[in-house]
Amino acid sequence: MTAAAGSYDAGVTDIVDPTLEAYAAEHTTAPPPHLEALAAELVGTLDSPHMMVGRLEGRFLELLTFALSATSVLEVGTFGGYSALAMAAGLAPGGRIVSCELSPVHAAFARRHIAASPYADRIEVVEGLAIDTIATLSGPFDLVFLDADKAGYRAYYEAVLPKLAPRGLIAADNTLWSGRLLDPSDTSADTVALREFNDFVATDPRVVAVQTTVRDGVTLIRRAG
Protein backbone atom coordinates (compact mmCIF):
# COMPACT_ATOMS: atom_id res chain seq x y z
CA MET A 1 0.00 0.00 0.00
CA THR A 2 1.23 3.50 -0.77
CA ALA A 3 -0.80 5.12 1.99
CA ALA A 4 0.48 5.30 5.53
CA ALA A 5 0.25 1.94 7.22
CA GLY A 6 -2.67 1.81 9.61
CA SER A 7 -4.92 4.18 7.63
CA TYR A 8 -7.28 1.55 6.23
CA ASP A 9 -10.14 2.17 8.65
CA ALA A 10 -11.55 5.36 10.11
CA GLY A 11 -11.95 3.63 13.46
CA VAL A 12 -8.21 3.34 13.95
CA THR A 13 -6.56 6.20 15.80
CA ASP A 14 -3.10 7.30 14.66
CA ILE A 15 -0.51 7.08 17.43
CA VAL A 16 2.15 8.74 15.28
CA ASP A 17 1.59 12.05 13.50
CA PRO A 18 -0.13 10.99 10.21
CA THR A 19 2.21 13.21 8.19
CA LEU A 20 5.26 11.50 9.68
CA GLU A 21 3.63 8.08 9.26
CA ALA A 22 3.02 8.84 5.58
CA TYR A 23 6.59 10.07 5.17
CA ALA A 24 7.95 6.90 6.76
CA ALA A 25 5.81 4.74 4.47
CA GLU A 26 6.88 6.68 1.39
CA HIS A 27 10.53 6.20 2.36
CA THR A 28 10.11 2.47 2.87
CA THR A 29 10.79 0.19 -0.09
CA ALA A 30 7.56 -0.32 -2.02
CA PRO A 31 5.88 -3.72 -1.77
CA PRO A 32 6.26 -6.23 -4.62
CA PRO A 33 3.34 -6.70 -7.04
CA HIS A 34 1.96 -9.79 -5.28
CA LEU A 35 1.57 -7.82 -2.02
CA GLU A 36 0.07 -4.81 -3.81
CA ALA A 37 -2.51 -7.13 -5.40
CA LEU A 38 -3.28 -8.79 -2.06
CA ALA A 39 -3.70 -5.43 -0.31
CA ALA A 40 -5.98 -4.02 -3.01
CA GLU A 41 -8.29 -7.04 -2.93
CA LEU A 42 -8.26 -7.28 0.87
CA VAL A 43 -9.29 -3.64 1.34
CA GLY A 44 -12.17 -4.16 -1.05
CA THR A 45 -13.44 -7.52 0.18
CA LEU A 46 -12.53 -8.41 3.78
CA ASP A 47 -13.93 -6.88 6.94
CA SER A 48 -11.64 -4.77 9.16
CA PRO A 49 -8.94 -4.05 6.53
CA HIS A 50 -7.04 -1.99 9.12
CA MET A 51 -5.89 -5.33 10.57
CA MET A 52 -3.56 -5.78 7.58
CA VAL A 53 0.00 -4.83 8.50
CA GLY A 54 0.68 -2.97 5.25
CA ARG A 55 3.80 -1.46 3.73
CA LEU A 56 5.62 -0.07 6.76
CA GLU A 57 5.11 -2.93 9.20
CA GLY A 58 5.43 -5.52 6.45
CA ARG A 59 8.94 -4.37 5.61
CA PHE A 60 9.72 -4.12 9.33
CA LEU A 61 8.78 -7.80 9.78
CA GLU A 62 10.70 -8.80 6.65
CA LEU A 63 13.86 -7.13 7.95
CA LEU A 64 13.46 -8.73 11.37
CA THR A 65 13.20 -12.12 9.67
CA PHE A 66 16.24 -11.35 7.52
CA ALA A 67 18.33 -10.05 10.44
CA LEU A 68 17.60 -13.21 12.43
CA SER A 69 18.51 -15.43 9.46
CA ALA A 70 15.25 -17.12 10.39
CA THR A 71 14.49 -20.60 9.12
CA SER A 72 11.50 -21.29 11.39
CA VAL A 73 8.77 -18.67 11.81
CA LEU A 74 5.45 -19.04 13.61
CA GLU A 75 2.64 -16.59 12.97
CA VAL A 76 -0.41 -16.49 15.23
CA GLY A 77 -3.12 -14.82 13.17
CA THR A 78 -2.88 -15.00 9.36
CA PHE A 79 -5.70 -12.62 8.37
CA GLY A 80 -5.16 -12.06 4.62
CA GLY A 81 -1.60 -13.36 4.46
CA TYR A 82 0.19 -10.04 4.00
CA SER A 83 2.45 -10.44 7.02
CA ALA A 84 3.29 -14.06 6.21
CA LEU A 85 4.29 -13.12 2.67
CA ALA A 86 6.27 -10.14 3.94
CA MET A 87 8.23 -12.34 6.34
CA ALA A 88 8.75 -15.02 3.68
CA ALA A 89 10.88 -12.57 1.70
CA GLY A 90 13.32 -12.41 4.62
CA LEU A 91 13.63 -16.14 5.30
CA ALA A 92 17.02 -17.82 5.16
CA PRO A 93 17.38 -20.55 2.50
CA GLY A 94 15.19 -23.51 3.38
CA GLY A 95 13.13 -21.45 5.83
CA ARG A 96 9.43 -22.00 6.44
CA ILE A 97 6.50 -20.22 8.08
CA VAL A 98 3.59 -21.86 9.88
CA SER A 99 0.66 -19.46 10.15
CA CYS A 100 -2.32 -20.12 12.42
CA GLU A 101 -5.77 -18.86 11.42
CA LEU A 102 -9.18 -19.50 12.97
CA SER A 103 -11.36 -18.04 10.19
CA PRO A 104 -11.89 -20.28 7.14
CA VAL A 105 -12.65 -17.16 5.07
CA HIS A 106 -9.36 -15.51 5.99
CA ALA A 107 -7.44 -18.77 5.56
CA ALA A 108 -8.86 -19.30 2.06
CA PHE A 109 -8.06 -15.72 1.05
CA ALA A 110 -4.49 -16.02 2.35
CA ARG A 111 -3.88 -19.41 0.74
CA ARG A 112 -4.99 -18.13 -2.65
CA HIS A 113 -2.59 -15.20 -2.55
CA ILE A 114 0.23 -17.32 -1.13
CA ALA A 115 -0.23 -19.82 -3.96
CA ALA A 116 0.11 -16.97 -6.49
CA SER A 117 3.29 -15.65 -4.88
CA PRO A 118 6.94 -16.72 -5.21
CA TYR A 119 6.74 -18.20 -1.67
CA ALA A 120 4.03 -20.83 -2.04
CA ASP A 121 6.37 -23.61 -0.88
CA ARG A 122 7.48 -21.73 2.25
CA ILE A 123 4.20 -20.94 4.01
CA GLU A 124 1.68 -23.31 5.56
CA VAL A 125 -1.64 -21.90 6.79
CA VAL A 126 -3.15 -24.09 9.51
CA GLU A 127 -6.82 -23.61 10.37
CA GLY A 128 -8.11 -24.03 13.91
CA LEU A 129 -7.45 -22.75 17.40
CA ALA A 130 -3.91 -21.39 17.47
CA ILE A 131 -3.24 -22.62 20.99
CA ASP A 132 -3.99 -26.18 19.82
CA THR A 133 -1.77 -25.81 16.76
CA ILE A 134 1.11 -24.48 18.86
CA ALA A 135 0.89 -27.54 21.10
CA THR A 136 1.61 -29.76 18.07
CA LEU A 137 4.73 -27.83 17.04
CA SER A 138 8.10 -28.54 18.58
CA GLY A 139 10.02 -25.44 17.47
CA PRO A 140 12.48 -23.94 18.02
CA PHE A 141 11.16 -20.76 16.42
CA ASP A 142 13.49 -18.00 15.30
CA LEU A 143 10.59 -15.54 15.11
CA VAL A 144 7.04 -15.64 16.47
CA PHE A 145 4.60 -12.98 15.28
CA LEU A 146 1.55 -12.56 17.55
CA ASP A 147 -1.34 -10.84 15.79
CA ALA A 148 -4.51 -12.67 16.78
CA ASP A 149 -7.21 -12.22 19.45
CA LYS A 150 -5.84 -9.91 22.11
CA ALA A 151 -7.42 -11.83 24.99
CA GLY A 152 -5.30 -14.80 23.95
CA TYR A 153 -1.93 -13.04 23.91
CA ARG A 154 -0.85 -14.17 27.37
CA ALA A 155 -1.67 -17.81 26.60
CA TYR A 156 0.13 -17.66 23.24
CA TYR A 157 3.13 -16.02 24.90
CA GLU A 158 3.38 -18.75 27.53
CA ALA A 159 2.96 -21.46 24.90
CA VAL A 160 5.67 -20.17 22.54
CA LEU A 161 8.26 -18.86 25.01
CA PRO A 162 9.68 -22.34 25.85
CA LYS A 163 9.84 -23.06 22.10
CA LEU A 164 11.72 -19.90 21.19
CA ALA A 165 15.22 -20.37 19.76
CA PRO A 166 18.04 -19.10 22.00
CA ARG A 167 18.41 -15.97 19.86
CA GLY A 168 14.80 -15.88 18.72
CA LEU A 169 12.29 -13.05 19.02
CA ILE A 170 8.59 -12.71 19.72
CA ALA A 171 6.97 -9.73 17.97
CA ALA A 172 3.58 -8.88 19.50
CA ASP A 173 1.42 -6.57 17.39
CA ASN A 174 -1.12 -3.90 18.44
CA THR A 175 0.40 -3.45 21.89
CA LEU A 176 -0.34 0.30 21.89
CA TRP A 177 -3.92 -0.36 20.74
CA SER A 178 -4.40 3.05 19.07
CA GLY A 179 -3.67 4.70 22.41
CA ARG A 180 -6.79 3.29 24.05
CA LEU A 181 -4.63 1.71 26.75
CA LEU A 182 -4.15 5.19 28.23
CA ASP A 183 -7.89 5.81 28.60
CA PRO A 184 -8.88 4.61 32.08
CA SER A 185 -12.54 4.63 31.08
CA ASP A 186 -11.90 2.01 28.38
CA THR A 187 -12.57 -1.30 30.12
CA SER A 188 -13.32 -3.33 26.98
CA ALA A 189 -12.02 -6.89 27.06
CA ASP A 190 -9.32 -6.39 24.42
CA THR A 191 -8.03 -3.20 26.03
CA VAL A 192 -7.86 -4.77 29.48
CA ALA A 193 -6.14 -7.88 28.06
CA LEU A 194 -3.49 -5.80 26.32
CA ARG A 195 -2.86 -3.65 29.40
CA GLU A 196 -2.35 -6.80 31.46
CA PHE A 197 -0.14 -8.38 28.78
CA ASN A 198 2.05 -5.29 28.49
CA ASP A 199 2.41 -4.97 32.26
CA PHE A 200 3.29 -8.64 32.60
CA VAL A 201 5.91 -8.71 29.84
CA ALA A 202 7.59 -5.54 31.12
CA THR A 203 8.27 -7.20 34.48
CA ASP A 204 8.75 -10.83 33.41
CA PRO A 205 12.30 -11.78 34.54
CA ARG A 206 12.46 -14.47 31.86
CA VAL A 207 12.62 -11.94 29.03
CA VAL A 208 13.97 -8.63 27.75
CA ALA A 209 11.42 -6.51 25.87
CA VAL A 210 11.10 -3.21 24.05
CA GLN A 211 7.80 -1.65 23.04
CA THR A 212 8.06 0.22 19.75
CA THR A 213 5.70 2.72 18.13
CA VAL A 214 5.76 1.00 14.75
CA ARG A 215 2.22 1.32 13.38
CA ASP A 216 -0.07 0.29 16.30
CA GLY A 217 2.77 -0.76 18.58
CA VAL A 218 5.02 -3.80 18.13
CA THR A 219 6.65 -5.25 21.25
CA LEU A 220 9.85 -7.20 20.61
CA ILE A 221 10.72 -9.85 23.19
CA ARG A 222 13.70 -12.14 23.66
CA ARG A 223 14.60 -14.59 26.39
CA ALA A 224 16.85 -13.16 29.08
CA GLY A 225 20.35 -14.47 29.65
Q: pTM of the full predicted structure?
A: 0.92
59-223: CATH topology is Rossmann fold (3.40.50)
pLDDT tens figures, 165-188: 999 999 999 999 989 999 999 999
Q: Where are the domains of the chain?
A: 59-223
CA distance 38 to 110: 9
pLDDT tens figures, 60-73: 999 999 999 999 99
Reported as a pLDDT band with limits 50, 70 and 90, residue 13 is: low
Mean pLDDT of 81-98: 98
pLDDT tens figures, 101-147: 999 999 999 999 999 999 999 999 999 999 999 999 999 999 999 99
Reported as a pLDDT band with limits 50, 70 and 90, residue 47 is: confident
